Structure 1
Amino acid sequence: MLAEDVQWQVLRNYAIVDGIMVALFRRRTRPLAISATVIVIYLLIIFVPKRPDTLYGFTYVHSSYDWSQHPQKYPAPAPIKQLPTGNPRALPKIQHAFETDSSPKDVEREQVLVERRLDVRQKFLKGWNSYRKRAWMHDELTPVSGGWKDGYGGWGVTLLDSLDTLWIMGLRDEFYDAVAAAMTIDWAETDDRSFNVFETTIRHLGALLAAYDLSKEPAIVLKAIELGDMLYMAFDTPNRMPVFWMNFEEARNGELEAGNHVPSAAVASSGLEFTRLAQITGDNKYYDAIDRVAQLLDSWQNRTSLPGMWPTFFDMRSMQLDMDRSYTLGALADSLYEYLPKMYLVLGGLEPLYEKLYRDAMDTVVKSLLFRPMTPDQDDILFSGSAYATADIFNLASESQHLGCFAGGMFGMAGKLFDIPEHVSIAEKITRGCVWAYDAMETGVGPEIFNIVECHSLEPCEWDDDRWLREGDPSLKKGFKDARDPRYVLRPEAIESVFFMYRITGDQEYQEMAWRMYQSIMKATETDLAFASIENVTVTGETEKGDSMESFWLAETLKYFYLIFSSPDLISLDQYVFNTEAHPLLRP
């Protein structure tokens, strides 16, 4: 038997054993599970069948280059860091305790919600069916011209990103058709010389792991392991810090080096996906890789020019995290912070480091980055700005981003998880601030980047008309300085936080906010084929469409809209943790 056949069989065995382990542990027979696992592994190693043309009912194409067999020039030093062991802690509930009454009023309300989620489902299908017909196996549909484009390796990112949305929406035929196609992806087949490690991790790998966690289809795990082994090569650098872009030739030749000016989120946001892959396969090498990054974050957290936070850009080559002086929860840094409480969750509370990193970081965010806008009605809302800090200078720009709207959900989830009531209150104010920005625009859709006239503290301030006339934009709602980037590119962050706050508080007002946002987005973005980014959210009447429908439209935005109108038991926050691409991963 060839070496690659043996490797394939080992991967297959992991998937089978995981399924058996799940079944046994669900029956709470831990000693039986352990002994049975030993027997199963022994039998699977002895009775190795020939490599089939089909696998678990799917035609399975093995990638033409097996990265698991490629020797690393800079292998991880022994001992490999192990996943935390022991029974997961009894963590606080994140979701609101929803009642299950069946009064006439509740029945009427449920009918409204049924109609809303069916509408979301139909809009999803419109986009999905156009992708299926016109861009199948390519990365994206171009929703105006009706063509396709590849920008993520040509590995069908929209197909993969949509897998768990298909499952969640009950579209099982479409799900299995998509899985069958996904099993034929060859990660070595691409016209690109390199790929974005961060985007491939959150979109492709995250999607496969969530699809497996929902469906328990073993073939999906094998495709995830193939990809995981390719992504693991990004850590084959002299200091074991990951590269931002992985060049295939350099990886094969052992020439990769971590970058000296890379986005902090890009190199510090693989934790959830690599940890879940380690949990499913039992291979600790994935966890070892990302733990080394977490330890680096810990060592620098209180040594930057804004202690508690990390700058927007890192020098990972020298492992100096204080080279930059800019700080934000927005673009280029966002998911670094988002993943801190989520890593605590996916590890069952067994690694306290992530709580410490979160608490220290958010202490600084609350003191230094959050601001209240000056509005005529003294709205009780907050936004996150961007700061520049040195030993002698601190400047806060009251510029906010649609990307930063994720922070409402993060503060709310972590506030419940770590018993910080103040953070749940902050979460509501950030979330309502993002909805306020939506309502302020002519289209009812929030802009990509905007500046606001700020109060000088987090407390309400009196409206100053003279200041508004000096600083504000008279064409926008009072409170805005400008809509510096007026586009809407189908982003999910605002509805993400609205969804989280509904699930956390049980307040139906968030469902009404969501419906208002949804109707506005549909009106502004719909094309004959699907849905498109728009150039300007401040215009009246017809919007100018861009020929782009990013995969996160189907993977995140429409998923969150569907879930907020669904039963709270569907993907409960007490059972799953969402990665930054909204892929739900099982919690232990």
Structure 2
Amino acid sequence: MLFSIFFVLVLVAVIDTVHAESCKTIQYAFPAGTGVNDSRAEAVKAAYVRSWNEYAGYCFGNDSILPVSHGCRDDLDGFGATIIDGMDTAIIMGLTDIVARQLEHAATVDFSRSSSVLVELFDMNIRYIAGLLSAHDLLTSGLFPNPYNQSHMDALITQAATLATNLKPCFETGTGLPATYVNYTTKQPVAGFPLTIGNTTYLNVTNTAQAGTLMLEWYRLSDKTGDSSFRDLAAKAESWLLKPNPPPRYLNLVGTALDTNTGHFLTFDGGWKSGVDSYLEYLVKTHIYNPADDIENTWKSFWITAVESTIEYIALHPYEHPEITFLSELDNDGNIMWSMDDYSCFAGGNLMLGGTYFDRQDIVALGKAAAESCHVTYNTTVTGLGPLTFAWYNASNLAYDAQYNNNFTTRAYAEKNGYFIELAQYNSFPESTESIFYGWRITGDTKWQDYNWGIFQALNTTRTENAPYWEISDVNVPYGGEPYDYLSSYYFAETLKYLYLTFTEPDIVSLDRFSFNTECHPMLIQAGTCAVEEAKRKGEL
């Protein structure tokens, strides 16, 4: 008997040791009581409240507010995008009165009727379905105050499943790659746009990000509902992207356009840019959500190979600026363009996240360099905000677009700053704040907090006193030039959430407990991190 007890104790100790060695830790171990900056966090919260009150006062129930004219717009099918997209931010900030009103709307909005005939899968997924799932995860996690109506909370999952079910016709294509839209009247899939290449016009076209930005939400929805059909649809679509045909010019740096009838890629315009960005992003984030779902580590391997191609071919230094590392996009033929869009600036955070999780310090280093370099495009403009697109001169001091080679203005700007501006508007872009947030949470270096504080202060300089925020036409003139009369729901969902989480207590929405979708909606990680495994051991999950 004594031997048996001793054997059991030894076995338990061995299991605990193996568990401790195999689980993952992502977030920096902040000493107790450190990492928080209350005054900055409160300033960001006040910005949310100010903008929310403006929206709710003029446009509650509509998708978006026009902050200059105080008009409203239903540009995301009339389901109240600002409410549902911004709800989990309010939950995290502890804005209980606002959340109660948001929950009531989310629980009662009719997802069977749309203000548009054509409903786009991508935005319905990343903003609405993810917003509903994230709010439910946060409110049932035990990590946040929950004084809310139980029936409204329960309805979040029902509503997410209802909307996802209404979107299922998108997948009724020759391959299972989803069409861009569903006709909400006929329940038929509708392709997004025709694409002409040479003498051939392709009609059944989708893009890589639309097809590859489903797994995190639809796997989570299956886990919450017990209905595997959502997971199966996302997995089938993903299977085409993981075996690209024809193969891209640089291994796993796939292009943006696919034929949903054949599954073939139609272009080679890869990189980390808009149109392909969140496909690469989700490979690592869905693996982190539950490594057991990544059969044979297929997602992990694809992502790592794509990053290795990035390091070898498209991580580039501008002419005479070795301190800057940009991730170039490729043109339709796979040629390097020595240019980026702001959307690509998410990559720094994704590289730091995946590099940390997979213990690849070379990838972490690239992520830090990429995030720092995108920040350069912010802190060198007049407003302190970054442009939509920018480019640079290559090692031979030439630009991809020859018109810039004899442009003395762009050459002078690039000589000083390492890049030049192509499209100067700022549309509340969250991507640099996102990467800076990851830099802070993964390294614990306070410079990242200062970077995001600088961006928040820059936002404040582009609006009038007591006014909400708006988008601006030119980051390189005082106050941003003419304001755009529009404020996207992702300003509430992403920009303010990443900023707030940079300054509040770092254990709030820890990277060891949550995996964020591309719209900054956190989903509870199911396995693999030490924090999750410890919570399971304690019976908290």
TM-score by length of 1: 0.77
Residue of structure 1 in register with 2:12 after alignment: none
Distance 1:412 1:120, change over 3 A: same
3-state DSSP of counterpart to 1:517: helix
Residue type at the aligned position of 1:337: L
Maintained 8 Å contact 2:174/2:260: no
Residue of structure 2 in register with 1:126 after alignment: 50
Is 2:512 aligned against 1:562?
no
Distance 1:306 1:234, change over 3 A: same
- 194, 202, 205: which one pairs with 1:261? 205
CA distance in 1, matches of 2:204, 2:20: 38
User: What is the CA distance between 1:143 and its match in structure 2?
Assistant: 0.7
User: What is the CA distance between 1:477 and its match in structure 2?
Assistant: 6.8
Residue of structure 2 in register with 1:244 after alignment: 180
Residue type at the aligned position of 2:215: G
CA distance in 1, matches of 2:355, 2:125: 27
**Structure 1: where are the runs of 5+ without partners?**
1-86, 458-466
- 366, 369, 374: which one pairs with 1:429? 369
- 200, 224, 247: which one pairs with 2:160? 224
**Structure 2: where are the runs of 5+ without partners?**
1-18, 141-152, 193-202, 398-404, 527-541
3-state DSSP of counterpart to 1:386: coil
Is 2:308 aligned against 1:363?
yes
Q: How does 1:480-559 map to 2 (within 5 A)?
A: 480=418, 482-525=420-463, 528-541=466-479, 543-559=481-497
CA distance in 2, matches of 1:433, 1:546: 27
Is 2:281 aligned against 1:338?
yes
Maintained 8 Å contact 1:91/1:417: no
Q: How does 1:50-449 map to 2 (within 5 A)?
A: 90-100=22-32, 110=36, 113-216=37-140, 217-251=153-187, 260-300=204-244, 303-321=247-265, 323-351=266-294, 352-375=297-320, 378=321, 380-388=323-331, 395-449=335-389
3-state DSSP of counterpart to 2:472: coil
Residue type at the aligned position of 1:239: T
Maintained 8 Å contact 2:472/2:480: no
Maintained 8 Å contact 2:254/2:268: no
CA distance in 2, matches of 1:288, 1:224: 16
Residue of structure 1 in register with 2:522 after alignment: 584
Residue type at the aligned position of 1:94: I
User: What is the CA distance between 1:255 and its match in structure 2?
Assistant: 6.3
Q: How does 1:455-466 map to 2 (within 5 A)?
A: 455=395
User: What is the CA distance between 1:212 and its match in structure 2?
Assistant: 0.4
User: What is the CA distance between 1:440 and its match in structure 2?
Assistant: 0.9
Maintained 8 Å contact 1:88/1:349: no
Residue type at the aligned position of 1:128: W
User: What is the CA distance between 1:250 and its match in structure 2?
Assistant: 3.7
Q: For this pair of structures, how many residues does the alignment match?
A: 477
3-state DSSP of counterpart to 1:300: coil
Residue of structure 2 in register with 1:50 after alignment: none
3-state DSSP of counterpart to 1:310: coil
3-state DSSP of counterpart to 2:515: strand
3-state DSSP of counterpart to 2:427: coil
3-state DSSP of counterpart to 1:474: helix
3-state DSSP of counterpart to 2:483: coil
Deviations 1:409-440 (A, max 9, x none): 10000001111110110011011001111011
User: What is the CA distance between 1:211 and its match in structure 2?
Assistant: 0.4
CA distance in 2, matches of 1:439, 1:455: 24
User: What is the CA distance between 1:239 and its match in structure 2?
Assistant: 2.9
CA distance in 2, matches of 1:456, 1:288: 49
CA distance in 1, matches of 2:257, 2:409: 30
Distance 1:256 1:245, change over 3 A: closer
Residue of structure 2 in register with 1:54 after alignment: none
3-state DSSP of counterpart to 2:243: helix
User: Greater CA deviation, 297-306 or 405-414?
Assistant: 297-306
Q: What percent of counterpart residues are identical?
A: 27
C-alpha RMSD of the superposition: 2.4
CA distance in 2, matches of 1:318, 1:575: 39
CA distance in 2, matches of 1:534, 1:195: 28
CA distance in 2, matches of 1:471, 1:538: 13
Residue of structure 1 in register with 2:535 after alignment: none
CA distance in 2, matches of 1:270, 1:244: 13
Maintained 8 Å contact 1:114/1:565: yes
